[in-house]
Amino acid sequence: MTLHGERQADFAYQAVYRYLITLINEVSTDTRVKLPSLRQLAGRLNVSISTIQYAYALLEKEGRVYSVAKSGYYAWPLSANSLTWAGGDLLDRLYAAARRPGMAVLSGDEPALLASLDGTLLRLERELVRHYPAQAQPWSQPCGVWELRAALAARYTSSPTRCWHADDVYLGADLRGVLDILIDVLGLRGTAVIVESPCDWLILRLLQDAGVRIIELPWTPEGCLDLATLEQQLCDESVHLVLLSSVVSLPSGVALSDRDRVAVAQLLDQYGCWLLENDTFGELGFKEPQATLRELVNPERLVVFSSFEKILGAEAPYGYLLSRRMSSELQRQFLLRSFRLSSIRQRAIARLYQSGRVDQHLRELRLQLREQAEEMSQRLDRHLGDQVAYRVPAAGAVFWLASTRTVDMRHVFQQLLAQQVVIAPGELFSVSGLHQQNLRLSNTFHGQPNLDIALTAISEALRQAQIG
């Protein structure tokens, strides 16, 4: 199978998708089967790695395959028995269960499931193909096409002193790839990094794999950061940087107050510490506009990272970062990674921003997310009652629940798998054993007609898993 030309490459993921369906259908064993890697398939089919990623993303959404961190993609065995995954790494078990057909997946964090721009993006691509013939396209733009980099720079610019330029923006195939580059360029291997907790497990795993010493700064039950502890850590430890969310921290769903935001910025400046700002959910707050932490810190010691997928959908998996510093090293690392991103798709995303379509979409998406959160809150109160405590989230698509009684949350997780319900145990969001009594639940439950049944199962599992 060979696909040539810019036009074909832009839509080749459909052919790759069909090719992978054939491979999956050939699986006839009761053990998991590893599928070809992104690079292997790209070489075999003569398409870009990003094209392979699109196809795998579609298959994951359909529950045909699942991914395992640092390992690759796997096809489901014929006997998708939950007991097969009773041991081993908890995150691997969650990934495997979430991709199993017929599961009520309440563990995810996919706001765009409520309303994506996938269809709009693909239609715009087809229009752009007619205006950008293959021979007019540069072979490689390792940091992303200028149009999208300029659109992002304009979006993040807020004043003459808080301004960004296209050359400050770098695009990668996905968020994982961008974070890998940041770890190298910032020299984080072997250093100490302060991370808000709970923290996304992707970030934690990447830092762990790089040998970073992670110092967790938990959010308090009142929804605040312990600023006294932060100052003590900055004073006592040789901290390279602090990783915090731009507006709302997820999965906890809380935001810094204006006063605390100023205090954090002052501490970072006092100790000359870099801020690595996670803006993945920065535009998904239910209240707008909301001040960001990056507006208060020294822009010369600031790196911002984010992705399009949470807002636009699975057809826009790219990750990106903004930095005024280290441009030569960043350009070198992106060139070494050889990301081959669809130039037409990047231009289509840029048009969505330039036309105001993204802003319109965000207004609609935020409204739906807020309505879903309100409905989920009512369901939680009805089904779980005083078994859990929670704060209604200020952004995003998840609830962060705390069991009011001491339970074995791993037992809860395993018991629910047997009932085809997937939750995310809180311990996944820590590297030091925090959040053992927490769990994350998604509230993007369109297509989940059995949500009430699932919540009833969670209530029973929490009751049976009580300790003491």
- The confidence score (pLDDT) of residue 173 equals 87
Distance (Å) of CA 155 to CA 2, 43, 370: 39, 36, 24
- Please, what is the average pLDDT of the chain? 87
Cβ contacts of 189 within 8 Å, gap of 6 or more: 183, 210, 211, 212
CA dist., res. 134 & res. 194, Å (int): 46
pTM, whole model, 2 decimals? 0.84
- The confidence score (pLDDT) of residue 8 equals 40
pLDDT tens for 274-290 read: 999 999 999 999 986 67
CA dist., res. 374 & res. 82, Å (int): 32
Q: How many CB atoms lie within 10 A of CB 446?
A: 11
Yes or no: say if 183 and 230 are a contact pair by the CB < 8 Å rule: no
Q: How far is CA 269 from its chain centroid? A: 28
Distance (Å) of CA 25 to CA 28, 64, 68, 75: 8, 10, 20, 9
Yes or no: say if 313 and 110 are a contact pair by the CB < 8 Å rule: no
Domains present along the chain, CATH in parentheses: 10-73 (1.10.10.10), 88-114+358-463 (3.90.1150.10), 115-355 (3.40.640.10)
- The confidence score (pLDDT) of residue 9 equals 38
Label residue 62 by pLDDT band (50, 70, 90): low
pLDDT above 90 covers a percentage of the chain that reads: 59
The DSSP element (H or E) to which 454 belongs, if any, is helix 451-464
Q: Above 50 in pLDDT, residue 22?
A: yes
Yes or no: say if 143 and 150 are a contact pair by the CB < 8 Å rule: no
Q: Above 50 in pLDDT, residue 6?
A: no
Torsion sign over Cα 424, 430, 433, 436: negative
Please state at what angle helix 451-464 crosses helix 409-418, rounded to 10 degrees: 140
246 by Cβ neighbours in 10 Å (0-12 / 13-18 / 19+) ranks as buried
pLDDT tens for 126-178 read: 888 887 765 555 556 889 999 999 999 999 999 888 999 999 999 998 899 99
Query: Range with the lowest mean pLDDT among 17-21, 322-326, 330-334, 350-354?
Result: 17-21
Query: Range with the lowest mean pLDDT among 71-75, 97-101, 301-305, 413-417?
Result: 97-101
Average pLDDT over residues 62-85: 66
Query: Range with the lowest mean pLDDT among 58-72, 74-88, 272-286?
Result: 74-88
Peptide bond connecting 251 to the previous residue in cis, omega within 30 degrees of 0: yes
CA dist., res. 437 & res. 107, Å (int): 15
Residue 394 φ then ψ, to 5°:
-95, 0
pLDDT tens for 226-266 read: 999 999 999 999 998 999 999 999 999 999 899 999 999 99
30 by Cβ neighbours in 10 Å (0-12 / 13-18 / 19+) ranks as exposed
